[in-house]
A and B are shown apart, each in its own frame.
Chain A
Amino acid sequence: MSASLDKVTQTLKEVIDAPIASYFDSCVHCGLCAEACLFYTETGDPKYTPIHKVEPLRRVYEQEYTLLGRLMKMVGLSKPITDEELGEWQELVYDSCTLCGRCSMVCPVGNDIVYMVRKFREGMAVSGHVPDGIRGATKRTVEIGGPMGLKWPAVANVLRKAEEATGVTIPVDKEGADYLVLLSSMEIVNYPEYIEALAKIFHKAGISFTLASDAFEATNAGIQIGASDLAKVIVTRIVDAAERLKVKYVLSPECGHAYMAIRWEGPNLIGRPFGFKVVHVLELLDQLRQEGVLKMKGMFKDPLILHDPCQIVRRGGVLQAPEALIRQVAENYIPIADQQKWNWCCGGGGGASAIHTEEAEALRAKAFGVKKRQIEEAGVGTMVTFCANCRITIEEALDHYEMNTKLLGLTELLAEHLED
C-alpha cells in the first residue's frame, strides 16, 4: 500500500460514523437516487447513480468496521481499494456531483447520500485525486485569502467605488458593529452591485455593519475539496475577525456553499459553538421585510422564475425567505414545479464550477438541460437567483445554449426597487 493510499484509509476510518454505516447497510440498490440526480437524468448514464459514487467508501467501511468485511478481506474475497480506482472515481465524486443533496431527499430508506459524498471527499482529497480547478482554488484561499487570489487592496478599491456610487460609507474593521459582512470573490469581481445594494439596504434600515480586512472572503474551497483541516484554517479567519470586532452577527453573502461553510460546518470545524450568529443575507432581508423596513417602489414587470441554490435552501434551510422576497418585488413571479427544497441544481455546485476540463464543462452543459427545460416550460425571459456560483454556472450555460434569458441576483433586484 502506498503512503498516500494508507493515508486515504486512515482518513476514511476517521470519518466513517454510525450514520454512514447505517446508510450503507440500508441501501437496497433500488436506483431511485439516480432519478433525483441531474447528471443521471440528463445523460442516462447509470454510472452517475449517486450511491455508486461512494462505492469505494462502502468497501472501506465494510473492510474496516464490519466483522464479515474484515473476514472477507482476510480471505481475499473483498479487495482493498486501489489508487487507480480512486483515480477513476475522481470524476464521479467531483465533476458529476454538486453536493446538491436531491438524492438525499428521495432515498426511500433515508440515506443522506450527499453526507456520504462529503465524507468520501475527505479521503479523495488526501489521495490527490482532486480536480486541478478546486485544488487551485483551495490553494489560493489558504495562501492568499480567496479562491480567485484576490487581495485586500483590490477589495478596498471595489468598496470605495461602491461608496461613491451609493453615497454610503462602508465601514472596515469597525469594532462593535452589529454585522460583520462577508463577501465572495465572485461577487467582488463579477457582481459589485451586490455590495452597493447591501450598503443601501443597511443604510436604509439603520443597521451598523463592518467588513474585516483580514476576513472578507466567505467562500471555503476546503469544504468543497473535502479537506476539513484546510477548511478549518479558512473559517478560523472569519471567527477570529468576528470575535475581535465583537460583532453580534456574521452576514453570509448570497453564495451557497459559503453559507454552508460558515453557518453549518464552521462550528464543527473549529470544534466549538460560535459566540455570534451566522445569518444569510436573505434571512436578514426577509426580517427587514417583515419589520416593514424593506419598502419597494415600482415593481419588476417581466415574468420571472426563481432558481433556489441548493446549499442555501435545500441544504441550508433558508426555505421561506426567497419566495417572500421575490413576491415583494416581482409582479409576475411564476412558481415552478420543482421549487424550494425540490429545486434542481444549476450543475456547478460543490466546486464543480471550478473544474475546467473539457469533459467536465461538457458534462455541466449537459446537466444544465433540466434548468433549460424549467426556463422554457415557464416561458419566461428572466430568472432570479441568489448565489454567485449559480450565477456563473448559469450564465456560462446560457451562453452555451445561446439563450437570451436574463439572470438577476435577488439582493440587487431588491436594492434596485428600494424606496429611497
Chain B
Amino acid sequence: MQGPLIDTLARQGVTRRTFLKYCATLASMMALPPSAGRAMAEAMAAARRPSVIWLPFQECTGCTESITRSHSPTLEGMIFDMISLDYQVTIMAAAGHQAEEALRNAMLENDGKYLLVVDGSIPMGDPGYGTHGGHSFVDHLQQAAKGAAAIIAVGTCASYGGIPKANPNPTGAVSVSDIIKDKPIVNIPGCPPIPVVMTGVLAHYLTFGSLPELDAKGRPKAFFGETIHDRCYRRPFYDQGKFAKTFDDEGARRGWCLFELGCKGPVTYNACATVKWNGGTSWPVESGHGCLGCSEPDFWDAGGFYKALSVPADPLKLAAAAAVVGAGAGVAVSFANRAKKGAAKKAHQPITLADLEK
C-alpha cells in the first residue's frame, strides 16, 4: 500500500477538494496560518506513509477506541489508515511469534525513521506486572525507542502515568518520558485523548517533517494552549457569579457554570471546548458535567472530581486538634503569666523617695 497519500484517498472516494477542505480545517485547529492548509495538503498528498509502531502497555484500550472507533469513517480515521501501522497488537491480524516478527522487521527496515506510538503507562514496581513475549514492558519500550524518529505518547497514562499511577500506584507506573530521555516525545494526554489531536500531530509530522511546538508538559501548544475554562461557552456565567449548586437545580438547567460542582476546567489544558467530541456533537461540560481534568498529570488524585477548586482537597484534620492545642497553649501561658504577675505583686516593695534617685 505504498504511494502518495492522495492516490490512496482517491481510491477510497475522497476527492481532492474534500482533502483540501480537511487540511484547511486542520490547519485552522492547529492555529497555523491559512496558507499552511494548502502546504499541508500538498505535502501530505505527496507524502509516503511513515512506518508506525504502536506499543500498548498498562492501558484500557480507550485511547485506541477513541481514535479508531468513530461513528462514521472520518478523515481522521482515514489518515490514520494511511500510515503504515506495522505493529498494533490490539487490532493487527497477526498474533504470537508472527506479530513479534512483524515488530522486529518494522524496526529493522525503518531503523531511525519510524514513529513509535505508546499508550499505557509502564510498571516499574516489578517487571512481571506487564510483559510481551517474555519481555517486560520497560524492555520493550527501550528497545523500540532506540530506532524511533520520535515517540508519541497517546493518552494520559503514557504521557503522565495516568490512572495506573493513581495513589497508591501499586505497579509503580511511570510515563514514557520518565524512561526515555533521548528522543523527541509528544504527549497527547486525555482519557481518552481527542482524535483530531493525534491526526494533527501526524499531519504536522508528514507536512513539515518535524513535531509541532510543545508546551512545558510536552503537549502540542496548538491544542493544549488554553484551559477548558477559558474556551468554555459557560464562562460568562462564571464571570457573572452564576453557578449550578447541584446537578438538578435551576442553575444546572439554565446551563450555568459548573465550577462549584467541581469542574476542573480552570486548571485543565485541552481543546474539548472547541473541538468537542463525537463528531462535534457535544462535550462533558455541554452535557452538564464538570471537567474532570483528565488531560492533566495526576488528575485522579487532585482532590476529588466533585470538589470545587477553591475548597479544601481533603477535609481539615489538623484544624480541630490545632485549635485545642492553641487553647491549651494559651491557657498554659496565661497561668504562667498570672503566676509571674502575682509574684511581681507579692515582691512589691513600696516605692520610696530614695527610689527616684538614680
A residues neighboring B (CB under 8 Å): 4, 7, 10-11, 13-14, 16, 64-67, 125-130, 135, 138-139, 142-143, 225, 227-230
Contacts and interface: CB of A to CB of B under 8 A. Distances in A.
Nearest to B346: A14
B356 interface: yes
Given A128-B358, A129-B358, A142 B353 contact: yes
B345 A225 contact: no
B357 A227 contact: no
B341 interface: yes
Interface in B232-250: none
A135 B356 contact: yes
Given A128-B357, A227-B355, A10 B329 contact: no
Contact of B356 (A10, A16, A66, A125): A125
B73 interface: no
A14 B350 contact: no
Given A13-B344, A64-B337, A126-B356, 4 more contacts: A14-B344, A227-B351, A229-B350, A230-B351
25 contacts: A7-B355, A10-B348, A13-B344, A14-B344, A65-B333, A65-B337, A65-B340, A66-B333, A125-B355, A125-B356, A126-B356, A127-B358, A128-B355, A128-B356, A130-B356, A139-B356, A142-B353, A143-B353, A227-B351, A227-B355, A227-B356, A229-B350, A229-B351, A230-B352, A230-B353
Contacts of A13: 340-341, 344
Contacts of B345: 14
Given A65-B337, A125-B355, A128-B358, A10 B344 contact: yes
B347 interface: yes
Interface in B317-358: 329, 333, 337, 340-341, 344-345, 347-348, 350-353, 355-358
B13 to A, nearest CB: 78
Contacts of B344: 10-11, 13-14
Contacts of B351: 11, 125-126, 227-230
Contacts of B341: 13-14, 16
Contacts of A229: 350-352
Interface of B: 329, 333, 337, 340-341, 344-345, 347-348, 350-353, 355-358
A34 B250 CA distance: 57
B348 A126 contact: no
Contacts of A66: 333
> Do most interface residues of chain B lie in helix, strand or loop, or is the interface mixed?
helix
**A-B pairs with lowest CB-CB distance, top 7:** A128-B358, A13-B344, A229-B351, A229-B350, A14-B344, A227-B351, A135-B356
Nearest to A126: B355
A13 B353 CA distance: 21
Contacts of B340: 13, 64-65
A302 B210 CA distance: 99
Contact of A67 (B333, B348, B356): B333
Nearest to A16: B341
Contacts of A125: 351, 355-356
A225 B355 CA distance: 12
B127 to A, nearest CB: 53
Nearest to A233: B350
A17 to B, nearest CB: 8
A341 to B, nearest CB: 32
A13 B338 CA distance: 10
Contacts of A227: 351, 355-356
B196 to A, nearest CB: 57
A10 B345 CA distance: 8
A64 B339 CA distance: 12
Candidate in B340, B350, B356, B357 with the most chain A CB atoms within 10 angstroms = B356
A359 to B, nearest CB: 18
Contact of A14 (B348, B352, B358): B348
A271 to B, nearest CB: 13
Contacts of B353: 138-139, 142-143, 230
A60 B348 CA distance: 17
B172 to A, nearest CB: 44
Contacts of B357: 128, 135
B207 to A, nearest CB: 63
Contacts of B355: 7, 125-126, 128, 227
A292 to B, nearest CB: 48
Contacts of A139: 353, 356
Contacts of A10: 344, 347-348
Nearest to A143: B353
Contacts of A4: 358
A66 B333 CA distance: 7
A225 B350 contact: no
A16 B357 CA distance: 23
A142 B350 CA distance: 14
A383 to B, nearest CB: 35
B316 to A, nearest CB: 24
A228 B358 CA distance: 18
A237 to B, nearest CB: 16
Nearest to B345: A14
Contact of B329 (A65, A67, A126, A127): A67
Contacts of A138: 353, 356
Nearest to B343: A13
Contacts of B329: 67
